[in-house]
Amino acid sequence: MTLAPTSTDRGSETRRRILEVAAEAFADRGYAGTSVNDVLKASGVTKGGFYFHFPSKEALALATLRHKQEQWAGMVMAAVMRRPRAVEQLEAMVDALCDLHEQDRACRAISRLCTELGDERPELRPQLGTQLTTWMDMVAAVIRKGQDEGEIRPEVEPAVAAEIAVESFIGLETVSEILTGRADLRRRARDFRDLWFAAIRQPTT
Taken in order of first residue, the domains within the chain and their CATH numbers are: 7-200 (1.10.357.10)
The chain-wide mean pLDDT, for the chain, equals: 87
Higher pLDDT, 6 or 187: 187
pLDDT of residue 5: 52
pLDDT band at 1 (very low <50, low <70, confident <90, very high): very low
Q: Of 7-11, 115-119, 143-147, where does the model show the most confidence?
A: 143-147
pLDDT digits (tens, 9 = 90+) for 148-196: 999 999 999 999 999 999 999 988 988 988 899 888 999 999 999 999 9
pTM: 0.80
pLDDT of residue 10: 66
pLDDT digits (tens, 9 = 90+) for 95-134: 998 888 888 877 777 878 888 888 878 887 877 777 788 8
> Does the pLDDT of residue 24 top 70, yes or no?
yes
pLDDT of residue 117: 81
161 contact partners, CB below 8 Å, separation of at least 6: 139, 140, 143, 196, 200
